[in-house]
Amino acid sequence: MRNAATRAMRATRARVACVARTAALAAALAAALVTVLAACGNDSGPTVRVTIRKGSSFREAAESLSAHGIVNSARVFGLYARARGEDRKLHYGTYVLRRSLSWGQILDAVRLGKGIVHQITIPEGFTIAQITPLLVDELEIVPDSIDAAVRDPAWRAKLGIPTTTLEGYLFPDTYTFPDNATARDAVRVMVERFEKVWKPEWTARAAEVKMSRHEVLTLASIVEREVFRNDERPVVAAVYLNRLKAHIPLQADPTVQYALGKKPGRVLYRDLRVVSPYNTYLNAGLPPGPIASPGAASIEAALHPAKVPYRFFVAAPDGHHEFRRTFAEHEAAIAMVRAQKAAITAAEGLAASRAERTLKTVPDSTVKTPKDSATKRP
């Protein structure tokens, strides 16, 4: 019995020692794997954009990295992060990462936020006042820093801007900014984009039509805020140029909206009395500067207007414009448009009334209607 117990004890000790050696070997292999995975990789190769959404778990982040080909196995990458004790912390955001990075570099990036970028789209026709909240929200900067950046005298001198801000010179486009980008960084990139987009032939054409670049941008910005249909841009530009040649005030509603700091929409008669150099109802000629950031199509339209005799236009309910040569024709067009709007309003009211009557005639299905016990009819 004593010999059997001794043998059993020895066997147990042997198994424990074997398990210990296996665990030690596994730990050594894991450590070696961690070291190899952390070391393998380089900073060259194509980049990939991947977003780790706020609230994502590490497993979800690993799956996203795997789906974009940044790691070849979400599960193994998760085990790798766990082995390093770094699978609990994530920095959410959009990253630009290289597929050639080592797993160690990738893990450091998503933990510490290295490689995070901020993508911002500036729509055509946006003003500085509309661009500012986009930059504030995405870059987490203060409005005052943007206001200072768009008033930078060095930029205004370089671009030959006679007004107090860079209004019109922040080119509308989609931008990708690195993390921690400042207001000056963002403004610089947008202005540099404008300079890159501006073509030498535009400069030549502006000289040909006897307009400065600033004047071209000013007209283009009004066109940008005025039109909904691309094919109307050259026609609207022609109307304004025809009015300038005839020494007729532009009477452009978007300039009044800009003077009032209002978003596009209906302009009331009392709005036309606002005292501002940008109010083209009260002031002849172009306003002092652009009222928004025009896109390339509107700049082209300002430089190459349509050859039409129109001096007036009015917006129809569907967004297109009715163009006319004389004020009498314009008044008739206004009456026509008003009649169209009235007809649409009446039709909408009739449809709403019919819908209301229909609802009143439909019985409530939740109420049980009592039935005659003999005929089973309501």
Confidence band for 9, pLDDT divided at 50, 70 and 90: low
Gap between the Cα atoms of 114 and 1, Å rounded: 67
pLDDT of 375 > 70? The answer is no
- Size (the chain), residues: 378
Of 3.40.50.300, 2.60.40.10, 3.30.1490.480, 1.10.8.350, the CATH number of 38-114 is: 3.30.1490.480
Beta bridge partners of 47: 98
All CATH 3.30.1490.480 domain ranges in the chain, comma separated: 38-114
Q: Is 6 buried (19+), middle (13-18) or exposed (0-12) by CB count in 10 A?
A: exposed
pLDDT of 341 > 80? The answer is yes
Confidence band for 219, pLDDT divided at 50, 70 and 90: very high
Q: Which pLDDT belongs to residue 361?
A: 60
Task: Judge if pTM exceeds 0.85.
Answer: no
Q: Which pLDDT belongs to residue 374?
A: 34
| 312, 325 contact by CB (below 8 A) | yes
Dihedral sign, Cα of residue 127, residue 130, residue 134, residue 136: positive
What does the block give as tokens for 288? 């002092």
Among 66-80, 104-118, 203-217, 341-355, the least confident range: 341-355
Note the pLDDT tens digit of each residue in 122-181. 999 999 999 999 999 999 999 999 999 999 999 999 999 999 999 999 999 999 998 889
Q: Which pLDDT belongs to residue 152?
A: 95
Confidence band for 110, pLDDT divided at 50, 70 and 90: confident
Q: Which pLDDT belongs to residue 39?
A: 44
Confidence band for 373, pLDDT divided at 50, 70 and 90: very low
Type of residue found at 204: A
What does the block give as tokens for 306? 């349509």
Gap between the Cα atoms of 61 and 105, Å rounded: 15
What does the block give as tokens for 189? 């990139």
Gap between the Cα atoms of 217 and 289, Å rounded: 8
Note the pLDDT tens digit of each residue in 358-368. 666 655 554 44
Q: Would you give the DSSP letter of residue 268?
A: P
Mean pLDDT of the 221-234 span: 96
Note the pLDDT tens digit of each residue in 277-319. 999 999 999 999 999 999 999 999 999 999 999 999 999 998 8
pLDDT of 36 > 70? The answer is no
Query: Tokens 């003077």, residue?
Result: 259
Among 50-54, 249-253, 321-325, the least confident range: 50-54
- The proportion of the chain whose per-residue pLDDT surpasses 70, expressed as a percent, equals 82
Mean pLDDT of the 230-239 span: 97
**Higher model confidence: residue 370 or residue 295?**
295
CB atoms near residue 372 (< 10 Å): 8
- Please, what is the average pLDDT of the chain? 85
Confidence band for 35, pLDDT divided at 50, 70 and 90: very low
Among the listed residues 40, 43, 44, 64, the one whose alpha carbon sits nearest the alpha carbon of residue 52: 64
Q: Which pLDDT belongs to residue 323?
A: 95
Query: Tokens 């946006």, residue?
Result: 126
What does the block give as tokens for 276? 């501002």
pLDDT of 377 > 50? The answer is no
Dihedral sign, Cα of residue 150, residue 155, residue 157, residue 159: negative
What is the Cβ-side half-sphere exposure of residue 81, based on CA atoms within 13 angstroms? 25
Q: Which pLDDT belongs to residue 12?
A: 58
Q: Which pLDDT belongs to residue 31?
A: 46
Gap between the Cα atoms of 49 and 56, Å rounded: 17
Q: Which pLDDT belongs to residue 47?
A: 84
Query: Tokens 């984009």, residue?
Result: 193
